[in-house]
Amino acid sequence: MNKHSAYRFLEKLAFERVSGSEKELEAAHLLVDECRSMGVDAVIEPFSIPAPAVTDVRLEITSPIQQEIYCTGVGRTGQTPEEGIEAPFVYIYGGEDEYITDVKGKIVLSTGGMKPELRKKLVEAGALGYITTWGGYYDDETMKTQVPHRFARLPKDDTSNFPGVMINLYTAKQLLQAHPETVRLVLRQDKDAKGESRNVVAEIRGTQKPEEVVLFSAHYDSVEFSNGAWDNGTGSVTIMEILRYYAANPPKRTVRFVWCGSEEIGLMGSWAYCKQHADELKNIILNINFDMTGVLMGNNGMFGSCDKSVIDYGVFMGKVHGIHFQTRMGLMPSDSTSFACSDVPAMSFGTMTPKGGAEIHSRRDTIDNVDPDELDQICAFATAFSAEIVNAKINVVPRALPKEVTDEKEKMKTLLGLE
């Protein structure tokens, strides 16, 4: 490993790379070029993503004052007539049952998100549309328009028309201060429109057991308004450093690298990979995923969707390298879950933010949070740890998944809409 090479590549990669965007494609080309600079070929594998096209969205207070509120339309939620719907406004707090008794014919504000179960209850209770929130209470004027364009993941049997918009939490506070009696909501969209995202895949064939594969993954997309330096530029450069190592030190087993697109909209890249490569999954002995590494503050986590012996070994090796890991067994909200849900043993590394600490998924996720030396340290550890498995005499990873995964697998697939 070259000193700070991970950080130098991160400097190139730390720009907004939203799922399915031109910028995501630009990042994919950077990854391909970096692999090729080390003499390893890489390919871009496209896949289709939902990209609902909102054509009109508006929210305004109509009484007792007249005021426009900046919002974005939530894709796939439904639509209003062209002129919108004007209806009484009601705040339902976090959407607890007690607050959704008087919503019939009204437009509701929920500051507790809009999970499918809440949506179902509100539709049944006769609510007409909803407003949900994003961002922070202490945001300022400049953040009013930094509201992402999201879409809802709805269960297949949900065919209801329940249009929703999203506003900044700071804006929501102003909305409540205006004590609105009625509001108008306009949302027009083509909810079935599709877009294209892509994975980047590279491979170095094993010298002794090429049919056995250790697959490294990291998502390289970011959310809107974020450079995604920490989440997950860091993981992306971490597996690039691992590739750098194996390019110079040929592995006994095959090592494959997958930079996943569209993780941020629901693990779509890794799931697409598992579908597109279904017949090869039996050869993958372990998926090692990285989602957020290399920052000075926070807790290092190692998450096991594989036999616990692998995690125990990782914790032990971490100590050898002076890195403490907290551990958890089960499915993680990252790409390792797509592999585990496809019956491939998987594990994930991630540095969690300290309490009250640095932010991800916001404009504050910049390279300033990432430390070059810390990044080198985690890359060195990750490489050494993986080499123990990649170059082991026998396959050291049991195939069976732990109970924590088998118990949760089907529920998680439904939750993510993976099929």
Cβ proximity to Zn ion: between 189 and 232 the closer is 232
∠ CA 135-141-147, nearest 5°, is 35
Tell me how far apart the alpha carbons of residues 275 and 277 are, in angstroms, rounded to a whole number: 5
Give, as ranges, the residues between 143 and 182 that touch Zn ion (CB under 5 A): none
Query: In whole angstroms, how close is the CB of 340 to Zn ion at the nearest point?
Result: 16
Give, as ranges, the residues between 270 and 309 that touch Zn ion (CB under 5 A): 291
Stretch binding Zn ion (CB under 5 A), from 25-33, 70-78, 227-235, 280-288: 227-235
Stretch binding Zn ion (CB under 5 A), from 152-160, 224-232, 280-288, 382-390: 224-232
Query: In whole angstroms, how close is the CB of 231 to Zn ion at the nearest point?
Result: 4
Cβ proximity to Zn ion: between 212 and 291 the closer is 291
∠ CA 255-36-228, nearest 5°, is 80
Cβ proximity to Zn ion: between 189 and 289 the closer is 289
Beta strands 284-290 and 209-219, pairing class: parallel
Before 50, cis peptide (omega within 30)? no
Query: In whole angstroms, how close is the CB of 18 to Zn ion at the nearest point?
Result: 13
Q: In what order do the strands lie in the sheet with 72-73?
A: 67-69, 53-63, 182-190, 85-91, 107-110, 129-134, 164-168, 72-73
Stretch binding Zn ion (CB under 5 A), from 25-33, 109-117, 225-233, 384-392: 225-233
Stretch binding Zn ion (CB under 5 A), from 63-71, 118-126, 232-240, 335-343: 232-240
Q: How many residues bind Zn ion (CB under 5 A)?
A: 3
Interaction between residue 21 and Zn ion (CB under 5 A): no
Query: In whole angstroms, how close is the CB of 219 to Zn ion at the nearest point?
Result: 6
Query: In whole angstroms, how close is the CB of 290 to Zn ion at the nearest point?
Result: 9
Cβ proximity to Zn ion: between 77 and 232 the closer is 232
Say which amino acid occupies 133: T
- In whole angstroms, what separates CA 49 from the centre of its chain? 14
Please enumerate in sequence order all residues whose Cβ is within 8 A of that of 405, keeping only pairs 6 or more positions apart, or say none. Answer: 305, 329, 330, 331, 340
Query: In whole angstroms, how close is the CB of 22 to Zn ion at the nearest point?
Result: 21
Interaction between residue 234 and Zn ion (CB under 5 A): no
Query: Applying CB under 5 A, which of residues 189, 226, 232, 391 lies at the interface with Zn ion?
Result: 232
Cβ proximity to Zn ion: between 24 and 231 the closer is 231
∠ CA 189-190-193, nearest 5°, is 140
Q: Could you give the dihedral angle defined by the CA atoms of residues 64, 97, 75 and 153, in that order, rounded to the nearest 10 degrees?
A: 170
Please enumerate in sequence order all residues whose Cβ is within 8 A of that of 358, keeping only pairs 6 or more positions apart, or say none. Answer: 230, 295, 297, 298, 364, 365, 369
Location of structure tokens 């039996």: 282
Cβ proximity to Zn ion: between 291 and 376 the closer is 291
- Which of 15, 41, 91 is CA-nearest to residue 256? 41
Interaction between residue 231 and Zn ion (CB under 5 A): yes
Query: In whole angstroms, how close is the CB of 235 to Zn ion at the nearest point?
Result: 7
Query: In whole angstroms, how close is the CB of 242 to Zn ion at the nearest point?
Result: 18
Cβ proximity to Zn ion: between 203 and 291 the closer is 291
Cβ proximity to Zn ion: between 54 and 332 the closer is 332
Partners of 346 in the β-ladder: 287, 305
Query: In whole angstroms, how close is the CB of 288 to Zn ion at the nearest point?
Result: 15
Q: Considering just the CA atoms, what is the radius of gyration of the chain in Å? A: 23
Tell me how far apart the alpha carbons of residues 343 and 246 are, in angstroms, rounded to a whole number: 26
Q: Kindly list the residues in this chain that would bind Zn ion in the complex (CB under 5 A).
A: 231-232, 291
